[in-house]
Structure 1
């Protein structure tokens, strides 16, 4: 009887030792994962721009939100910069995957688009050259991207898409929609890819909004429904302050329960300049 109790005691001790070892391993794994998340967050903060460029008649704003579970971070970005000749360039994108590697590759994509845009005026050519540049670094990741060029002379938006979520637009006269423009494959996938360019004259005051799929898509929430909701938000806030509109669009991500990080970039524009040199300020 005493021998039986002794064996049971040894068995219990062995089980407790094993549980203790597994608990320690789980703790180490969780701490390692948390460290990687914190590093990805730090990379994200450093890579995203502190401010966005503006021009008379064009105001801009952006928002970024990590995923709800805190683990899917590092892949989404937005950017804005001045181009030769007075135009402005804007990009938004989403890198495949998450964590530190995605955050680092996101920085490479953002820099590649900036560098190419300084030498190529056509948005389609910008994406095509950026695609070839990223393929040359032999990385296994790829990225969706929209690049947009705002021309203050013609007062139009020229844009191209690389597998990215369509933008959303609205004007002061009540019109709005989803910009289902033709596009090409994501960056870093296929050599020699080409990207069609869409040109939009900004005749009436309004807003053009770029976003990542984390804004409009979530568990059991299809992206089409999310884009329609974003379009309604942009319609109702087309003449709002761009920061306020960006915050309202980001609330759509909150309602979808997004499992991905999310980014929004808002261009709030006045109407096209008249012959006297001033912008048409329709309703705002």
Structure 2
């Protein structure tokens, strides 16, 4: 026997039981204890995996809510809701049926998950209007789970070309207490039927979707009102004879971007024709309101003052600085003035693109000259004036930056492309000409755009014209 620091210990060969370090005899492991331990570990592992899955689903749901809420265009919101629902639950197919105002049937169906072949097979087939199993959710807006669609009593079958679907999960989407539509999922990718967890996720997503849809609808009404307001501020061009003129305005392609582009043209008391085009910085209601103030003030100054364009811009800049406090604004102001031998262009720019002169043939030329500072930068800085004769039959094009700016190409490339486009279409009637520039512009469409074109007459010079009409030159 030997003494240790904690107790006595003998080898099994001595016939004496070993004594543990704390003086207790070691007990043999009961039969099946290892199996029970493994079972318990498996159970704990399964719970941990379930908690991890729940955490990931919650994170996915929060991310989905943020993504849906970030959209302001209603069609984009609806598409995002369907695609997000299919990803979140792991479904192969998804659809959002928008209810008719009557609430009795679907008037639109936004789908996700259909392959190109499946879409081709369904070409010409009317989308379901909410009869059969889909109609259950319309009549009773409680969450719906179906494990076998074909055997359900309400099933009316699928139309020709429709992909086979067996399982269905549906929830209603309400907006301000009224059912807006129904969100449907079909066929979990793992082949299992939809369960209560899937239903809870979809119900939560439908709640967020209802808020996002309402926000998009409200924004759409505000945007449409602002666009209408903006268009009402843009004038219908008056009779500018002997000139012909045409203009077009296009809002930005992005639904949440208003603009501050404007144009104007008028006959002045001294028989010159005044033309202006401008762009207020910003893409919101403030920009549209600033555009209205700037436009109306410039029109009054231009009509009242028989001064060079640069002086009109200087006075406008000072007045706006004191009374309106508008954002930085660019503008090009021109007078087409009569002379003894023909018409002349007298213009000044405030940080804006110069006019484009086309013709009288297909030749094009930007009237590049020393530019002036934009409005709202330095009211004490004078802007230069420029003059040049205008050939009979030529066309002047005034435009804003939305027509030529594109992130994938340089500004020079955009201007070159616009000049080529103008040369290709200049022989068309003037309204068709400006429409062609707006339809085929080299810009990316992310900004609003305005185009105003004025065509110099081919007839007699201004002095002879005014003599014939009794006017003084």
Q: Which bracket does the TM-score occupy, shorter chain normalised? A: 0.7 to 0.9
Of residues 352, 369, 376, the one that matches 1:188 is 376
1:83 paired to 2:268: yes
User: Is 1:250–2:447 an aligned residue pair?
Assistant: no
Alignment match, 1:282: none
How far has the Cα of 1:18 moved from its partner?
5.3
- Counterpart in the other structure of 1:128: 314
Normalised TM-score (structure 1): 0.84
Offset of residue 205 of structure 1 = 2.3
The aligned counterpart of 1:225 is 413
Query: Could you list the per-position Cα deviations for residues 136-191 of structure 1 after superposition, in whole angstroms to 9, with x for gaps in the alignment?
Result: 12425221111111113451111111111222112225532112221212112322
CA-based RMSD of the aligned residues comes to 2.8
TM-score under structure 2 length normalisation = 0.53
Q: In structure 1, the residue corresponding to 2:440 is in which secondary structure?
A: helix
CA distance in 1, matches of 2:285, 2:451: 21
- CA shift for structure 1 position 196: 0.9
Q: 1:26 aligns with which of 209, 212, 215?
A: 212
Q: Work out which of the residue numbers 451, 454, 464 in structure 2 matches 1:267.
A: 454
Q: Does 1:149 align with 2:372?
A: no
Distance 1:226 1:179 in 2: 16
Which residue matches 1:105? 290
The alpha carbon displacement at 1:72 in A equals 2.0
Distance 1:206 1:140, change over 3 A: closer
Deviation at 1:198, TM superposition (A): 1.1
Gaps spanning 5+ residues in structure 2: where?
A: 1-42, 55-194, 467-473
Instruction: Quote the offset at 1:272 in angstroms.
Output: 8.0
Measured in 2, the distance between the counterparts of 1:204 and 1:109 equals: 32
- For residues 196-250 of structure 1, the C-alpha deviation after alignment (integer angstroms, 9 at most, x for no partner) is 1111211342111000011111231332212112212333344542212212221
- State the structure with more CA Rg: 2
Partner of 2:185: none
Distance 1:140 1:89, change over 3 A: closer
- Partner SS state of residue 227, structure 1: helix
Measure the CA separation in 1 of the matches of 2:420 and 2:448.
22
Higher-RCO chain (CA-CA 8 Å, sequence separation at least 6): 1
Question: CA separation in 2, counterparts of 1:118 and 1:262?
Answer: 25
Corresponding residue SS for 2:464: coil
Residue 63 (structure 2) aligns with: none
- The verdict on how the C-alpha distance between 1:275 and 1:80 changes in structure 2, with shifts beyond 3 A counting, is closer
The CA distance in 1 between the partners of 2:423 and 2:261, in whole Å, is 24
Maintained 8 Å contact 2:240/2:266:
no
Distance 1:54 1:275 in 2: 13
CA contact (8 A) 1:168 1:230 kept: no
For the Cα contact (< 8 Å) 2:244–2:455, is it kept in 1? yes
Following the alignment from structure 2 to structure 1, what is the Cα–Cα distance between the partners of residues 462 and 451? Answer: 33
Determine the C-alpha separation between the residues in 2 that align with 1:240 and 1:137: 43
Unpaired segments ≥5 residues, structure 1 = 280-284
Give the total of aligned pairs: 273
